[in-house]
Structure 1
Amino acid sequence: MVLRDSDPAEAGGYRIEDRLGSGGMGVVYLARSASGRRLAVKVVHGQYADDDEFRARFRREVAAARQVSGAFTAPVVDADADAPRPWMATLYIPGADLGRHIRDHGPLPLPRLRELAAGLAEAIRDIHRAGVVHRDLKPANVMLADDGPRVIDFGISRATEFAASDVLTQTGRVMGTPPFMSPEQFSAPQDVGPAADIFSLGAVVAFAASGRGPFDSPSPYETAIRVVEGDPELDDVPAELLPFIRLCLEKEPKSRPTADELLRLLRNGDWRTTDDAPTPVDTGRPRRRTRRWLAVVAGTLALAAATTTVALTGDDSAPGNLPAGWRAWHKQAKDPSLDKDPMGPTALFNRCVASGTSLVCAGDEIMATRFALADGRNTWARPIDQTADGEDFGSSSSGGGTIIGARDGRVYVYGADDRPDDEASYPTRYTIQALNAGTGRTIWSTVTADGSDGTEPSSDQGASVAVPAGIMTVYGKTGRQFALLDADDGKVRWKRPLPNPDQYMTLLRSSAGQAYLLTGKYTTDNIESTSIAQLDPATGKPRWTVKVKGDMDIVGRHDGRLVLVNVTGARRTLTLVNTTSHVMTTVKLAKVQPEGAAPTLVNGTLYFTLSNGSIRAFDPATGRQAWASNSGVEQSGPPTASGTHLYVASPSGRLAALNRSTGEVEGTLPGRDDGAVDGSPAGAPLTLVGDALYVPYGLRSVYTVDVRDL
């Protein structure tokens, strides 16, 4: 930022070179010491110089920052709280703050999310060991340095040894930034302790994973209510980090782990899932969820915004966020079934997921195959039918293969082995398997059905879903049960009956880590009503059930509400189900969408895509249409979004990038005709890892592109 005429030439003897940022409390400058060391110097606004309480708070900030030293904090070099304009100098950290980085580049990929979570947990541990509570951990206060994140700005921190009678915490002010504050910061600000920083840590990691805060709402007041009373919105958070984030976001401070416990859990992967949410092993803490109303929020949030502190921001030009060693590539998968199928590949993948350094894809008789994220090396491939004699009996598995989920370096897939019983019968043994994403090694394999009447456990067909506890799947010889397979060992933890399949159609769905059973009741020609039940992962029993008219399916969750659309017929309305109160509301779409328009909920926006390339964007809370555009991409699969753009691709690999705010097409790539498949269905979902976009296309092929080059 350019220096202004009103900016000082120096502060505390340090020569000022540039402006880094400004806010309600002061301005942050880039300065140099006499030895040439670069510093970030915060100089408070002149109007605060005569405010005795402000000076006391500033002294506290300096004292708190001096107490903290660690690899993931910015050390204080010098300060003067008694100067005509108080100032503090910290070591300059080049790079953008987390909030700016996510706005410019979209959510972080999983490897960087792990690094962020561990770095922030270590920083908070060091802060708490120094007897300090930060109380304003937010994306703007996290700098992304080359060697890891740094926590900055202790402007509203409090030393834990201060007594409750401390006047600076008795003023009735709500201190912090609403989307990242803990419930107790609203309801009992004088009692805020170290657990508040743990809650904020979880909210910050969720923001980095999804591009939005877990409690974001249109107004600060609604945000505060959601923080205190609502469920977090975690739809776009990778499954591997859901246990970590949910632990941090416990409403009750005593139910949250300490920073040391979080580091141990991250290091050891030591999670245990209960009937409500994952908890750390051996913490010795009771799990409590108390329902409290927001008693002290009204009239204070504007003041809270005014008392947040200035971020020490760095260089605006952040480097590309790409997997280590990445280069543009396009590859076709090995076909593990060529000895059985001389025709070779016939169709495109139907799903790919990123896990660690791997992109694992499935579809068209491939149970799973792995490409290296960096260079596309196709290191292993497994057929969906691994019948020992290698013969293909043309079972119902034809065209099968999909990835059910991914977690902790594993991918969950299904197999379908055909075994000739006699000349007229070819029963199939279905299995769900957990594979090591890097090596393809089978960690466990569980039979879900064995016989001609069994049900294929495909997630695409609503017969299996991944949840943090494991895999819920249709189960049994005739497919009349559903069961939970444990994520760690594949053992059946419980089984429950499904409704009569002659009268009901059932689907298993998941959203925000929760599993739902949808039960459609048949009449002669259609489905007259659909029951939606949220399932308890510990028992499989419904926690609650609501009933809606018609044939409904879940698109996703937004602002704590499930979003449902009708499967057949024109889409005129949306049905929203509050997952806490279970109240249903109907939202009228501003423009009717045809039955052929495929709905996808991405980052809080509902998109309808048509086979001719048309895309319409709607606000699911109001039904208002934000924009309508034509991507030029026919037969596109579900769209994928970064913080700024929406991406769609065709089965042949034609790609378009649309501005998420306006719908304008701002970048395209032509299709790769060598992979085109006649009569193929819509394209597969895309996978975005930082700035690297992975596009399945054609004959079991994938290519990758840096989205900044579009």
Structure 2
Amino acid sequence: MALRESDPAEVGGYRIEDRLGSGGMGVVYLARSDSGRRLALKVVHAQYADDDEFRIRFRREVAAARQVSGAFTAPVVDADADAPRPWMATLYIPGEDLGTHVRRHGPLPLPKLYELAAGLAEAIRDIHRAGMVHRDLKPANVMLAEDGPRVIDFGISRAAEFAASDVLTQTGRVMGTPPFMSPEQFSSPQDVGPAADVFSLGSVVAYAATGHGPFDSPSPYETAVRVVDGAAEIDDVPPELLPFVQLCLEKHPKSRPSPDELLRLLRNGEMPGPRSEPDSGTPRDEQPSTPRRRKRLILLSALSALLVAAATTLTVMSVNAEPTPVAGDLPSGWQAWHKRSKDPSPDKDPIGPSSPFNRCAATGRSLVCAGDDVMATRFALADGRNTWARSIDETADDLGGSSAGTIIGARGGSVYVYGADDRPVDGDGLSKTRYTVQALDAETGKARWKTVTGDGDGATEPNREHGASIAVPAGVITVYGDDSKYYALLGADDGKVRWKRPLPDQETDPCLLRAADRQAYLLCARLTGDDITGTSVTRLDPATGRPDWTVKIKGDQDIAGQADGRLVLAGVTGTHRTVTLINAESHVVTTARLATAQPEGASLYVLRGTLYFTLPGGSVRAVDPGTGRQLWKTDSTVEQSGPPAASATRLYLASPSGRLAAIDVRTGRVTGTRAGRDDGGDLDVATSITAPPVLVGDALYVPYGLRAVYTADVRDL
């Protein structure tokens, strides 16, 4: 960049030769020492020179950079924090920063990605060993030197041992660059520790691999919400580095690996189980005494303008702080509660017996549930206020359509649901059903978009539970058309059809849509007469809907989940003696024989890489899906349990009446229980199946009874 007339000829005795860049805090020049050494010299903007707090922060930057100067950072040569315009000179590193390089040349090839991941892991390891936390690791702060990446700019770093009482962390500011910040930097900035740099490292490597950040969004507010509460979009990360990135991007700081563990993973392809959250089974008086923090999402109404300014660091001011759940703590303002949803259609006669919710999802400050003719109903995570409820059929007449309803998925403050609009077509009481998929604002219940998926007798109800719709990062894939001859992707932002593909003949090859690890699959049965003798498994290209690959396996099988990069499938009927494994990338099929056969009546689920079998009487068995070895067997004391939920340390099961059990995932020991509730209404618990519990940090939300939910602090179990 050319020098300007206003630029100085020298600073601190160093000759200025060129401009390297500028940002919100200052200008960086190329300078030269008397001996001819080239330096990167950062000069603070004049408007900050009279800010005493800023000078304190700049002194910290200088001290931090000096502490960690080494092979993976830019060594400090000289500095003057007391100059009329404070400055700091570091050794000049030839080369582009990572952000500029990716914008110009595209994502890095795999060998360079390995080099980047290892170099950054080594850099933050050295930074942490020096007792510092960088707190603003982003592509612009990574220089691609000839001998490997270097981390620069310690402008908002902080000594790891600084107390939370430090006045500079009490000013209502969150420091960092939102797309590459960690969840705790938004929710509890005074508690940010070394694990925040690990999260940012994962985001930076994902950016280098794909050309976009894992939480990118046009809206800075949406970006912040996605970092705290959303799933990372890392489908395009090469599979060789996907485990590395996934481990870095764990929402809970204690679930992220250390830099040394990351380096072991890169060297050996093996990762000892990442450090998990505190074991909730430990008695409270034996756990470390730490205050319960109320997490807050701190956002700036003018954040977008600051982002456009391309500042080297970004200050996010607290204006109207919105409480939000953060993993490892309780939602802001949380209290134990139990509530029942209001009836969204009190003037309609119920069709058939009432039942519990079949699915709930948490997003933002909301828990949204569906089932029993409820399209969706919202409870506040903090106190359970039931602020809205909508019927699956909101027409005035009750003509006898669907009494189901389900949450298809949740994304960035929206929940995907479906409607079934029954309308009379003649005077004889006949009706016609029009099905829609809708994205509802979780806070207000208003439809952000609504798309008709089928109209008439040949249309299929887009029910997630029946395999007719699934949520993926790009939106909702659903059976589509008045005759249900297609499957289509409805875009997440507007519900418009992005692509449409024909389904096989449903009379001869009935198919289901399934999702595993946010990837879409089409499962089609192969019929011999009336018997299902085989299953074809097809992975769908999310961009086009076309098959990536198809494999055929024996028998009637369904996907239970994904573990270690492999789909896990098991037979739909009969005693479970084997599981089928399909490598999601190479689509190689293998079979693992179960060391202990599991009964026909067992339900099976894959959670956090473990296969669980649950039986109606309360028995639970944990199995390693790769080897078939049974890890443990226990009596949960929960009969007729619904699908379980899992944290890093415990498995949670609940019955239709609300009886709850927590099980140590390593030993199978029942570590806590809650009795069922008698305020759930008149429910046939012997035939009802309820939604799985929903875990939001340390708050567990348990659907039970008739449209009811209660919550508990898992640390009290």
TM-score by length of 1: 0.62
Residue aligning to 2:331: 323
Shift of residue 347, structure 1, vs aligned partner? 1.5
* Residue deviations 1:441-483 (CA, integer Å, cap 9, x gap): 1111111111122110000000000111111101111212111
Q: Give the counterpart letter for 1:414 in structure 2.
A: Y
Shift of residue 590, structure 1, vs aligned partner? 0.9
Match of 1:706 among 696, 702, 713: 713
Match of 1:135 among 121, 124, 129: 121
- Consecutive unaligned residues of structure 1, counting only runs of 5 or more, are 1-55, 70-131, 144-148, 170-196, 206-240, 281-286, 293-299, 306-310
| Contact residue 619 and residue 625 of structure 1 kept, 8 A | yes
Question: 1: CA distance between counterparts of 2:340 and 2:149?
Answer: 67
Shift of residue 626, structure 1, vs aligned partner? 0.6
* Residue deviations 1:602-647 (CA, integer Å, cap 9, x gap): 1111100000000000011111111000011000011111222111
Go from structure 1 to structure 2 and tell me whether the alpha carbon gap of 1:596 and 1:57 turns closer, same or farther (over 3 Å shift): same
Match of 2:571 among 552, 566, 569: 566
Shift of residue 662, structure 1, vs aligned partner? 1.0
Question: 2: CA distance between counterparts of 1:477 and 1:688?
Answer: 38
Question: 2: CA distance between counterparts of 1:657 and 1:140?
Answer: 39
Go from structure 1 to structure 2 and tell me whether the alpha carbon gap of 1:626 and 1:683 turns closer, same or farther (over 3 Å shift): same
Q: Give the counterpart letter for 1:359 in structure 2.
A: L
Q: Is 1:418 the counterpart of 2:432 in the alignment?
A: no
| Contact residue 360 and residue 369 of structure 2 kept, 8 A | yes
Question: 2: CA distance between counterparts of 1:342 and 1:502?
Answer: 32
Question: 2: CA distance between counterparts of 1:142 and 1:334?
Answer: 51
Match of 1:687 among 682, 694, 709: 694
Question: 1: CA distance between counterparts of 2:73 and 2:237?
Answer: 35
Match of 1:460, SS?
helix
* Residue deviations 1:341-389 (CA, integer Å, cap 9, x gap): 27998221000000100000000000000000000000000000111xx
Match of 1:572, SS?
strand
Shift of residue 271, structure 1, vs aligned partner? 13
Go from structure 1 to structure 2 and tell me whether the alpha carbon gap of 1:257 and 1:622 turns closer, same or farther (over 3 Å shift): same
Question: 2: CA distance between counterparts of 1:467 and 1:600?
Answer: 19
Match of 2:373 among 360, 365, 370: 365
Question: 1: CA distance between counterparts of 2:546 and 2:265?
Answer: 44
Q: Give the counterpart letter for 1:379 in structure 2.
A: T
* Residue deviations 1:307-336 (CA, integer Å, cap 9, x gap): xxxx9xx99544441000000000000001
Match of 1:493 among 477, 498, 511: 498
Residue correspondence of structure 1 range 350-361 to structure 2 within 5 A = 350-361=358-369
Match of 1:674, SS?
coil
Question: 2: CA distance between counterparts of 1:455 and 1:613?
Answer: 35
| Contact residue 653 and residue 696 of structure 1 kept, 8 A | yes
Go from structure 1 to structure 2 and tell me whether the alpha carbon gap of 1:503 and 1:436 turns closer, same or farther (over 3 Å shift): same
Match of 2:410, SS?
strand
Q: Give the counterpart letter for 1:498 in structure 2.
A: L
| Contact residue 509 and residue 517 of structure 1 kept, 8 A | yes
Match of 1:534 among 512, 536, 539: 539
| Contact residue 202 and residue 245 of structure 1 kept, 8 A | no
| Contact residue 355 and residue 410 of structure 1 kept, 8 A | yes
Q: Give the counterpart letter for 2:430 in structure 1.
A: S
Residue aligning to 1:394: 400
Q: Give the counterpart letter for 2:441 in structure 1.
A: N
Question: 2: CA distance between counterparts of 1:392 and 1:290?
Answer: 50
Identity %: 53
Higher relative contact order structure (alpha carbons within 8 Å, sequence separation ≥ 6): 1
Match of 2:357, SS?
coil
Go from structure 1 to structure 2 and tell me whether the alpha carbon gap of 1:375 and 1:66 turns closer, same or farther (over 3 Å shift): farther
Go from structure 1 to structure 2 and tell me whether the alpha carbon gap of 1:68 and 1:402 turns closer, same or farther (over 3 Å shift): farther
| Contact residue 379 and residue 385 of structure 2 kept, 8 A | yes
Q: Give the counterpart letter for 2:411 in structure 1.
A: R
Go from structure 1 to structure 2 and tell me whether the alpha carbon gap of 1:415 and 1:614 turns closer, same or farther (over 3 Å shift): same
Residue aligning to 2:341: 333
Residue correspondence of structure 1 range 219-368 to structure 2 within 5 A = 248=204, 250=206, 253=208, 255-257=210-212, 267=221, 269=223, 316-320=288-292, 321-341=329-349, 346-368=354-376
Shift of residue 255, structure 1, vs aligned partner? 3.8
Shift of residue 703, structure 1, vs aligned partner? 0.2
Shift of residue 200, structure 1, vs aligned partner? 11
Question: 2: CA distance between counterparts of 1:270 and 1:361?
Answer: 24
Question: 2: CA distance between counterparts of 1:140 and 1:571?
Answer: 50
Residue aligning to 2:386: 378
Shift of residue 489, structure 1, vs aligned partner? 0.9
Match of 1:407 among 403, 408, 411: 411
Match of 1:677 among 683, 692, 699: 683
Q: Give the counterpart letter for 2:371 in structure 1.
A: G
Residue correspondence of structure 1 range 207-226 to structure 2 within 5 A = none
Question: 1: CA distance between counterparts of 2:711 and 2:696?
Answer: 10
Q: Give the counterpart letter for 2:416 in structure 1.
A: Y
* Residue deviations 1:256-286 (CA, integer Å, cap 9, x gap): 4489x969775455999xxxx9699xxxxxx
Residue aligning to 1:60: 70
Match of 2:70, SS?
helix
Shift of residue 421, structure 1, vs aligned partner? 1.2
Go from structure 1 to structure 2 and tell me whether the alpha carbon gap of 1:166 and 1:570 turns closer, same or farther (over 3 Å shift): closer
CA RMSD of aligned residues (A): 4.5
Residue aligning to 1:616: 621
Match of 1:519 among 521, 524, 530: 524
Question: 2: CA distance between counterparts of 1:325 and 1:444?
Answer: 31
Shift of residue 665, structure 1, vs aligned partner? 1.0
| Contact residue 68 and residue 126 of structure 2 kept, 8 A | no
| Contact residue 248 and residue 256 of structure 1 kept, 8 A | no
Match of 1:478, SS?
coil
Question: 1: CA distance between counterparts of 2:452 and 2:363?
Answer: 25
Aligned residues: 492
Shift of residue 204, structure 1, vs aligned partner? 12
Shift of residue 166, structure 1, vs aligned partner? 9.3
Q: Give the counterpart letter for 2:616 in structure 1.
A: S
Residue correspondence of structure 1 range 92-171 to structure 2 within 5 A = 134-136=120-122, 150-151=133-134, 164=146
| Contact residue 412 and residue 435 of structure 1 kept, 8 A | yes
Question: 2: CA distance between counterparts of 1:303 and 1:486?
Answer: 36
Match of 2:585 among 580, 589, 592: 580
TM-score by length of 2: 0.61
Question: 2: CA distance between counterparts of 1:360 and 1:417?
Answer: 21
Question: 2: CA distance between counterparts of 1:342 and 1:671?
Answer: 25
Question: 2: CA distance between counterparts of 1:137 and 1:695?
Answer: 43
Question: 1: CA distance between counterparts of 2:525 and 2:125?
Answer: 43
Residue aligning to 2:108: none
Go from structure 1 to structure 2 and tell me whether the alpha carbon gap of 1:685 and 1:291 turns closer, same or farther (over 3 Å shift): closer
Match of 1:708, SS?
helix
Go from structure 1 to structure 2 and tell me whether the alpha carbon gap of 1:541 and 1:141 turns closer, same or farther (over 3 Å shift): farther
Q: Give the counterpart letter for 1:580 in structure 2.
A: E
| Contact residue 348 and residue 363 of structure 1 kept, 8 A | yes
Q: Give the counterpart letter for 2:333 in structure 1.
A: G
| Contact residue 133 and residue 160 of structure 1 kept, 8 A | no
Match of 2:424, SS?
coil
Shift of residue 302, structure 1, vs aligned partner? 10
Go from structure 1 to structure 2 and tell me whether the alpha carbon gap of 1:202 and 1:483 turns closer, same or farther (over 3 Å shift): farther
Go from structure 1 to structure 2 and tell me whether the alpha carbon gap of 1:162 and 1:550 turns closer, same or farther (over 3 Å shift): closer
